Amino acid sequence: MTSPPYFAVLTGGGGGIGAAIAQAIAPQCAVLLLVGRDAARLAATARAVERPGLACHVVLADLATAAGRDAVAQAASGFDINLLINNAGTSEFAWFADQSEASVERILEVNALAPMLLTQRLLPQLQRRRSATIVNVGSIFGYLGYPGCASYSASKFALRGFTEALRRELADGPVRVLYFAPRATRTALNDDALTALNAELGTAMDAPAKVAGELVALLRRPVRERLLGCPRSSSPA
């Protein structure tokens, strides 16, 4: 198990869940690199987590580009990181037949390809530590194909498959690979149509702070997969 203090990279650090995760793990961090595309939101998160003993750095980067991943790798190279949380994501609630090719490509790039390639870039740093952890933040839709979320579900299925395969590749080394799957969460990622559908169906929606607390609990007691709102969790990591 990777123990605090964490030297952490958190992607999507300016979003609803990302900001909540940053605040939840900050007390256990010596270094926290907040990665995202919105400078104002990242700055707000950095101010919210500011405390003595924490070196918090903002990295403005589009992880769907090689230049963005280079920026994160360069920023992380000055620290012996032991925690990578791949949280950045995007979505669009739409029938697949009506989605543009550009939207489908963007969802798959941001949610699946970008965390895969960023992990590949940072893996040598993580492997230098005696113990390190990668947490891939997926979704319950990585297990359940949901109408109106075909591209999003496909991206989260892909991220879960990547997590499982990489975990097996790294089983004999110091790096644990975990999959964390929130259910519906009250963030700006859900548009009004999806929020209304969840309400009509009686689908529970968690607050970002609750999701962040569950992720911290996962770090304390790692299991290979953690599904919020579902009693099933896999065996210990």
What residues act catalytically?
152
Which tokens in the block code for residue 141? 């839709």
* Contacts for 74 with CB less than 8 Å, ≥ 6 apart: none
Measured distance CA(28)–CA(4) in Å, rounded: 6
Sign of CA dihedral 68, 69, 73, 74: negative
* Contacts for 101 with CB less than 8 Å, ≥ 6 apart: none
Give the alpha-carbon dihedral of 203, 208, 210, 214, to 10 degrees. Answer: 100
Starting at the edge strand that comes first in sequence, how are the strands of the sheet with 175-181 ordered? Answer: 55-60, 29-36, 6-11, 83-86, 132-137, 175-181, 225-227
Strand, helix or coil at 91?
coil
Measured distance CA(9)–CA(19) in Å, rounded: 13
Taking each helix axis from N to C end, the angle separating 208-220 and 16-25, rounded to the nearest 10 degrees, works out to: 40
CB-count exposure of residue 141 (10 Å: 0-12, 13-18, 19+): buried
Strand, helix or coil at 7?
strand
